[in-house]
């Protein structure tokens, strides 16, 4: 899926003169910060489409030759810096004609609206006028109005690039069944004290290890049929947490993907994982006790399996030692440290030769 940044031209890519017409080479002045911002967004996987109203282009008042030269210069400068536009869409009508192709109308967008490869949830519009925001509203995508003395607005290019390219990876999952009501909230780019309230204190303690040692904000709330047994609560929490991780990671650009061996007194736990999108779980270990605290030990590998199934995670987990409390806790901590390495974002490269994860 491809995210597209639709961009107005005059006042957004290049400064708009007082007569609102860029019809000479000397009027071509680039908006502050636009090139580094577009390079950052390019590296984050965005493609660019110019959408511009050019009043009466091709008429005597605005000859096409006056437009073509400055336009070609602008495009050449962008291309020389590694910025290419997927498309340039120009409406040449006058405002009084009220054509559907004129922003804020979306008549020029029909081929894009039929393109199923576009990720509309990440796509956005940048412009300098309120009509550009109306255009984004009509497309049902996010809109950013650049701050200008002429039309107001509150964004600059650096802020837009940060918001879109460095967007915090968050997810909230609500999973309700006849047996459980689970709510999981994660923010992979924020550190906070973890919260876990499942009705099973030892299980809460283990979930807190995931957030604490995973280095991300985690909030888990569960209301399950504990009067029957612990199975549904533990299983459904694993499924909800796995789904939350999957949603928060998005297209997985920039992640470490892999990752941890962790000692705990006499115990040694190893969690080798891969956010491959292909769920698979292997567990090597055993427990002599039926329970640790209020958590049945048979549900420990079952939790990890549920997590893998919902998140598309390949996890090989091994643990050895004498103390079952240590073995359970070391398993959760090893998973957490592996997650910390795997979800850490460095750059915007997709860690796969396949082109998708």
8 is catalytic: yes
204, 207, 212, 218 alpha-carbon torsion, rounded to 10°:
-100
Q: Reduce the secondary structure of the chain to three states and give it as a string.
A: CEEEEEECCECCCECCCCCCCCCCHHHCCECCCHHHHHHHHHHCCEEEEEEEECCCCCCCCCCHHHHHHHHHHHHHHHHHCCCCEEEEEEECCCHHHCCCCCCCCCHHHHHHHCCCCECCCCCEEEECCHHHHHHHHHHCCEEEEECECCCECCECHHHHHHHHHCCCCEEEEEEECCCEEEEEEEECCCCCCCEEECCCHHHHHHHHHHHHHHCCEEEEEEEECCCCCCHHHHHHHHHHHHHHHHHHHCCCCCECCECCEEEECCEEEEEEEECCCCCEEEEECCCCCCEECCEECCHHHHHHHHHHHHHCCEEEEEEECCCHHHHHHHHHHHHHHHHHHHHCECCCCCCCCCCCC
How many Å apart are CA 101 and CA 93, to the nearest integer?
A: 8
**Choosing from 8, 91, 219, 274, which is the catalytic residue?**
8
Q: Which tokens go with 126?
A: 């940048």
Specify whether 91 is catalytic.
Answer: no
In the set 10, 128, 236, 324, the catalytic residue is: 10
Catalytic residue set: 8, 10
């Amino acid at each position: 899926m491809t995210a597209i940044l639709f961009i107005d031209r005059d006042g957004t890519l290049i400064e708009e003169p007082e007569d609102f017409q860029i019809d000479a080479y000397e009027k071509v002045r680039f908006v502050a910060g636009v090139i580094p911002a577009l390079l950052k967004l390019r590296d984050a996987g965005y493609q660019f489409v110019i959408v511009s109203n050019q009043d009466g282009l091709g008429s005597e008042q605005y000859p096409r030759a006056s437009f073509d030269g400055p336009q070609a210069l602008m495009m050449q400068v962008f291309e020389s810096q590694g910025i290419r536009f997927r498309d340039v869409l120009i409406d040449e009508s006058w405002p009084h004609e009220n054509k559907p192709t004129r922003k804020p109308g979306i008549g020029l967008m029909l081929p894009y609206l039929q393109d199923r490869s576009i990720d509309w949830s990440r796509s956005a519009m940048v412009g300098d006028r309120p009509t550009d925001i109306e255009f984004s509203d009509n497309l049902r995508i996010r809109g950013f109005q650049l701050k200008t003395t002429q039309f107001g607005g509150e964004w600059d290019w650096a802020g837009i690039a940060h918001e879109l390219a460095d967007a915090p990876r968050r997810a909230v999952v609500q999973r309700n069944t006849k047996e459980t009501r689970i709510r999981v909230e994660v923010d992979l780019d924020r550190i906070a004290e973890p919260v876990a309230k499942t009705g099973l204190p030892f299980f809460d303690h283990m979930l807190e290890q995931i957030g604490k040692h995973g280095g991300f904000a985690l909030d888990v709330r569960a209301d399950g049929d504990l009067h029957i047994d612990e199975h549904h609560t533990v299983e459904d929490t694993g499924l909800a947490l796995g789904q939350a991780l999957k949603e928060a990671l998005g297209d997985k650009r920039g992640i470490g993907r892999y990752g941890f061996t962790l000692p705990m007194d006499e115990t040694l736990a190893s969690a080798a994982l891969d956010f491959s999108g292909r769920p698979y779980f292997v567990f090597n270990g055993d427990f002599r006790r039926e329970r640790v605290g209020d958590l049945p030990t048979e549900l420990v590998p079952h939790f990890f399996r549920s997590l893998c199934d919902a998140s598309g995670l390949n996890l090989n987990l091994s643990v050895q030692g004498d103390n079952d409390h240590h073995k359970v806790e070391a398993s959760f901590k090893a998973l957490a440290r592996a997650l910390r390495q795997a979800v850490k974002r460095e750059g915007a490269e997709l860690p796969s030769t396949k082109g998708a994860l």
